[in-house]
Amino acid sequence: MKIGILKETRSNEKRVAVTPKIAQDFKNKGFDVLVEKDAGLASAFDDASYKKAGAEIVSKTTIFKDTDIIVKINPLEAPEIDQLKKGQTVISMVYHRLNPDLVKNIAQKGASLFSMDAMPRISRAQNMDVLSSQSNLGGYKAVILGADNMTKIFPLMMTAAGTITPAKVLIYGVGVAGLQAIATAKRLGAVVEATDVRPETKEQAESLGAKFISVENEDENISEGGYAKEQSEEFLTKQKEAVNKSLYNADLVVTTALVQGAKAPVLITEDQIKNMKRGAVIVDMAVEKGGNVELSEPDKIVLKHGVKIIGQTNLPSTLATNASELYAKNLFNFITYLTENGKFKWDLEDEITQKTLLVKDGQILTEL
């Protein structure tokens, strides 16, 4: 089987789906690897390193003409879908609930489509879970970005001129990104608090040294597939009240809350921002999905009521080398799981295949 690695075309995207190391691993498994020219350059992987790994450097046209599997990080764009051939298989992140037309257009080409972001959160799929691997890096970078924009340092510091008290950090959402944000802020010396609608995250947050802010929730069914479900207005109001004291005292706030397939919940309103400390910083990691912060703007840093609000999209791309390495390993584990003796197994009874296979040979298999 021939695998084609496309260069990412989305603006501000520096990652690549397969690194030279993983290209070599694919070669060792019997795959032929074709890489679009300069596909890895923004991630610090040049064409020479792919050639050394046994890959062939080709044009985008050649990839669509000669490969069986086409891999990417972001969804295919319209001009790329136009080049698809019947029988080809596309593997990328798709966000199919938000991009139903894209799925339909790929189906019309008679191709197959796997979505990396639809990976079930089960133990045997952990090494294929790109959302976790990328969120891990995003949580780290959010704290670093916040620190860079603060007018204070994180740790306690005793000097001859007096003692500097540690910064106070508040994390909304104790998933993979939130846990990494907690760990990073603690390592830098901050006093960290965290909150989440899922009470089972309390122990995880506290194990990393954060104080957990609990909010009682009468709805027992509050998570689905590893994500928090959309919450009632009544609960969100209770959460705001419970967290407000910490929010108003925080020097840095990182929001990470996402709802799978839906707009991100608004957790911090303009009225709350008005009550925050002058000089405080908020990093909204959910800005690309509508934002957890009412006043955040995608890819902008705005100053509102004395608070700096950072709406950086695609944080993993700012750590492109590591992010590409992790995505590529996830992808390698996924493709080798799906194939046997140079062919796809198409095991539609398998949970991993069921959740990720959106289209098979032009037939749509999922609800849009």
pTM of the model: 0.91
Q: Is 132 known to be catalytic?
A: yes
Domain assignments of the chain as residue spans, ordered by start: 2-128+319-364, 150-313
Q: Is 229:259 a contact under the CB 8 Å cutoff?
A: yes
Q: Which tokens sit at 111?
A: 């191709």
Q: Which of 10, 97, 121, 198 is catalytic?
A: 121
Q: Is 112 known to be catalytic?
A: no
- Alpha carbon 172 to its chain's center: 16
Q: Which of 43, 92, 112, 129 is catalytic?
A: 129
CATH for 150-313 (3.30.465.10, 3.40.50.720, 3.90.1640.30, 1.20.1050.10): 3.40.50.720
Q: Distance (Å, rounded) from C-alpha 158 to C-alpha 195?
A: 30
Instruction: Supply the pLDDT for residue 219.
Output: 58
Q: Within 10 Å of residue 222's Cβ, how many Cβ atoms?
A: 17
Q: Give the CATH number of domain 2-128+319-364.
A: 3.40.50.720
Instruction: Supply the pLDDT for residue 263.
Output: 85
Instruction: Supply the pLDDT for residue 100.
Output: 95
Q: Which tokens sit at 334?
A: 């996924």
Instruction: Supply the pLDDT for residue 222.
Output: 58
Q: In degrees, to the nearest 5, what angle opens at C-alpha 130 toward C-alphas 125 and 132?
A: 85
Q: Which of 43, 88, 112, 132 is catalytic?
A: 132
Q: Is 124 known to be catalytic?
A: no
> What would the pLDDT profile of 196-249 be if each residue is shown by its tens digit?
988 999 999 999 999 999 877 665 555 555 555 566 777 777 777 889 999 999
Beta bridge partners of 308: 281, 303
Instruction: Supply the pLDDT for residue 98.
Output: 85
Instruction: Supply the pLDDT for residue 259.
Output: 81
Q: Is 97 known to be catalytic?
A: no
Q: In degrees, to the nearest 5, what angle opens at C-alpha 277 toward C-alphas 276 and 281?
A: 85
- Same fold flag, 2-128+319-364 and 150-313: yes
Q: Which of 38, 82, 124, 126 is catalytic?
A: 126
CA dihedral (60, 61, 63, 69) in degrees, to 10, reads 100
Kindly state the greatest CA–CA separation across the chain.
73
Q: In the chain, which stretches have pLDDT less than 70?
A: 217-231, 261
Q: Is 82 known to be catalytic?
A: no
